[in-house]
Amino acid sequence: MSIQSKLLIMLLAVSLVSAIVVGVIGFINGRDSLRASAFHQLTTIRELRGEEIQREFSSLQLGVQLDSRNASAVDATTALVDGFAQLQSSTLSADDESKLNDFYAEQFVPALEKRSGNSYSPDAFVPATPAGRYLQAHYTDGRAYDDYDAGLALDDAGDGSAWSAASAQYNPYFKGLVDDLGYEDVLVMNREGDVVYSAYKSVDLGVSMKEEPYTNSALTQAFDQVMRNGSLDEVVTTDFERYLPSLNVPTAWVVSPVGSATNIVGAMAVQIPITQINSVMTGNEKWSAQGLGTTGEVYLAGPDKTMRSVSRLLTEHPKRYAATVVDNGTSPAVAKRIVAVKGTVELQPVDFEGTRRALQGKSGTAITADYTSSDSLVAYAPLQIDGLNWVIVAHMDAAEAFAPVDEFTRNLVISTLALLLIVSMLSLLLAQVFTRPVRRLVDAVRAVAAGDLTVRVPAVAHDEFGDLGRAFNDMSASLRTKQDLIDEQRTENEKLLLTLMPESMAKRYREGEEVISEQHDDVAVVFAELVGFDEYVAALSSTEEMAALNTLVRGFDEAADRTGVEKVRTLRGGYLASSGLIVPRVDNARRAVEFALEMRRVVERFNAAHDTRLDLRAGVDMGPVTSGLVGRTSLAYDLWGDAVSLAYAVRGATTEPGVYVSQAVRDRLADSIEIVAAGAIDTTAGQQQVWRVTGTSR
């Protein structure tokens, strides 16, 4: 390792160790402090919300108790109970009965089934008593089932009954309870459990809580409890339960008896306003302003481990709600249902560590999963609400809750890296003075390795680096000269290779194929030999013989180019060519014959120029052939097949010079060239006629 590298490493090591020691100490102290602050803030919010919701329920329970004791409530209950009793002997006309049945069959039950997803019989909701049917025919039927404001404003149906007179007198009192105190609804029941009054005068008016479908409801059980104890001080609060008259919406009640210490005439049931609960738990939907950031919230949960208040995520981001809660374990069907009804009470599961511990009576904090995140900061505790086993949970995504910790860590890391960067830059600046010549040389060597032989490095220094640079430049120049020679030789070899074989064969040969051959279906083959050449060159020297042969072959090659014929190979006194081998043609036969005739003309011109008596005998056939490279060390491009053999045989059908063609060529040419019979040859397929070309193309 060089001195520069050692110096650089030592500087970096000292800086890094110092920064790490300081950073670790600061990180541990800062992280613990910030984490404790996050837990404390969430716990404080949970305690404030818990105290507020407990005060809300205490106030609600006390208010219902006081409202049920005052003289107006007692007098109203007495009058309504008596009026209801008088209506038990009333009868409805067949038309009113039919309209009431139609109301349930056509309006209420379809709406209930649509919202709940269950099937119901309309008969189950029609009051069983004459008084109940009478009241609903006059006060419930004739308006939309969900027009609660119209029902609340209706004091007297004008039927002249004692019940209507009592309603006209006391409905404003109960209407005031709903409007001023924010109650959802107020029910008055007689001692037998009949609902003798409803502020909204909806489908629960006149029904018996002791009859189906209300027999086992939480409201019925609360009514039985307050009536069984017989004390005016009794107040029973129910958990949320799906209440059929409210279209299966979760509903909770506060029930208290009405009457005197010696005579309880009935009970008052107040429907707990869910909006007030949600307002308390959401802080009027001002989560961020109360320190809960963008993901924090406080919610209530019941013993079934489902929510008893609205979800912040559903309120702020209803479109994102389903995907988020499904990713964290909620059933897709439940998530879809929550979005459809726009409520999470008794629907959203919160069966997580914080909820389970709180239901066990424990208070504390934890980092655990919740319904919106797999990693949340949670503060949990049980609630002290008379009659309810509820718990309160405050949670926030851990990423947001510990954002100050992350920011502190990030700043610490950035500071450490900045210090290391400064030290590193100073160290590198000093090291560059020594390593710059080496880097240049390394870059130059890499360029040469990549094939750039023109690269040079500056070599002006008069030291060892300068000597090394000059030596490299000499080596690069020498390599460039040798590469130029190799490129020239490669070009010559390529040209020579293309004179021996077609380009497609040459490409396969260069790619290293061992067996190179190609099948051709329709090729015309010309096999020609010089007649009298041996006698002519007998008196010539080898140089003169080669010159004469080259003259003839060049003429044959030029003729092949003109007629579109491919040269295959040259023999001392012969010439093998083809038409349609490399370039498929539809006139293979005609081109081959014209080439053979042109070869005779080349010989004639040679005779005229050299005063010789040479001639040419050529055979032409056509059909399937195979071309390929023969051998590896002594490479030769050749053509073989029945067409080649037959062309050779046709050439030897007679000793007379001329152009001879097979029957296949004769059939292909038809009458386009003058042809006469010239004999026959024996082939493996039998005897075949040979024809002699006597004229040119017509």
Q: What is the per-residue pLDDT across 177-229, written as a single tens digit (0 to 9) for each?
A: 998 888 889 999 999 999 999 999 999 999 999 998 999 999 999 999 999 98
Strands 615-630 and 658-662: parallel
> pLDDT band at 312, cuts 50/70/90?
very high
pLDDT at 24 over 70: yes
* Per-residue tokens: 60: 């609600």
> pLDDT band at 323, cuts 50/70/90?
very high
Most confident of 216-225, 402-411, 529-538, 647-656: 216-225
Q: Averaged over 259-271, what is the pLDDT? A: 90
pLDDT of 243-264, one tens digit each?
A: 999 888 899 999 999 988 788 9
Percent of the chain with pLDDT over 90: 38
pLDDT at 80 over 80: yes
Most confident of 34-43, 47-56, 112-121, 255-264: 47-56
Compute the mean pLDDT over every residue in the chain, rounded to the nearest whole number: 84
* pLDDT score for 633: 57
482: Cβ contacts below 8 Å, ≥ 6 apart: none
Residue 302: CB atoms within 10 Å: 20
Q: 542 has which bridge partners?
A: none
pLDDT greater at residue 356 or residue 639: 356
* pLDDT score for 634: 56
> pLDDT band at 82, cuts 50/70/90?
very high
Residue 444: CB atoms within 10 Å: 19
- Using the structure block, give the residue that is written with the tokens 């490299």: 472
pLDDT of 398-418, one tens digit each?
A: 888 877 777 777 887 787 778
Q: Alpha-carbon distance 523 to 76, whole Å?
A: 118
Q: By mean pLDDT, which of 90-99, 488-497, 623-632 is the weakest?
A: 488-497
Tell me, rounded to whole angstroms, the distance of Cα 246 from its chain centroid: 42
- C-beta separation of 202 from 148 below 8 A: yes
* pLDDT score for 98: 92
504: Cβ contacts below 8 Å, ≥ 6 apart: 518, 582
> pLDDT band at 435, cuts 50/70/90?
low
238: Cβ contacts below 8 Å, ≥ 6 apart: 218, 219, 221, 222, 252, 253, 254, 255, 387
DSSP E strands, 465-565: 517-531
Integer-rounded Cα Rg, in Å, for the chain is 55
Q: Alpha-carbon distance 606 to 670, whole Å?
A: 32
- C-beta separation of 537 from 613 below 8 A: no
Half-sphere CA count of 425, side-chain side, radius 13 A: 5
Q: Alpha-carbon distance 282 to 272, whole Å?
A: 17
pLDDT greater at residue 519 or residue 501: 519
- C-beta separation of 130 from 90 below 8 A: yes
pLDDT greater at residue 561 or residue 405: 561
pLDDT at 698 over 50: no
Helix, strand, coil shares of the chain as percentages rounded to 5?
A: 55, 20, 25
* pLDDT score for 514: 60
pLDDT greater at residue 221 or residue 32: 221
* pLDDT score for 513: 67
Percent of the chain with pLDDT over 70: 89
Residue 238: CB atoms within 10 Å: 23
H/E stretch holding 65 reads helix 3-69
Q: By mean pLDDT, which of 1-5, 332-336, 545-549 is the weakest?
A: 1-5
**DSSP summary character for residue 38:** H
What's the whole-model pTM score? 0.58
Q: By mean pLDDT, which of 273-287, 343-357, 412-426 is the weakest?
A: 412-426
Q: By mean pLDDT, which of 71-85, 517-531, 616-630, 684-698 is the weakest?
A: 684-698
Q: Averaged over 148-169, what is the pLDDT? A: 92
Q: By mean pLDDT, which of 169-173, 209-213, 639-643 is the weakest?
A: 639-643
- Domains of the chain and CATH, by start: 70-272 (3.30.450.20), 514-697 (3.30.70.1230)
* Per-residue tokens: 111: 């709406």
- Using the structure block, give the residue that is written with the tokens 């059909």: 623
pLDDT at 298 over 90: yes
- C-beta separation of 659 from 693 below 8 A: yes
Q: Averaged over 296-307, what is the pLDDT? A: 94
Helix (H, G, I), strand (E, B) or coil at 531: strand
Q: By mean pLDDT, which of 22-26, 101-105, 356-360, 631-635 is the weakest?
A: 631-635
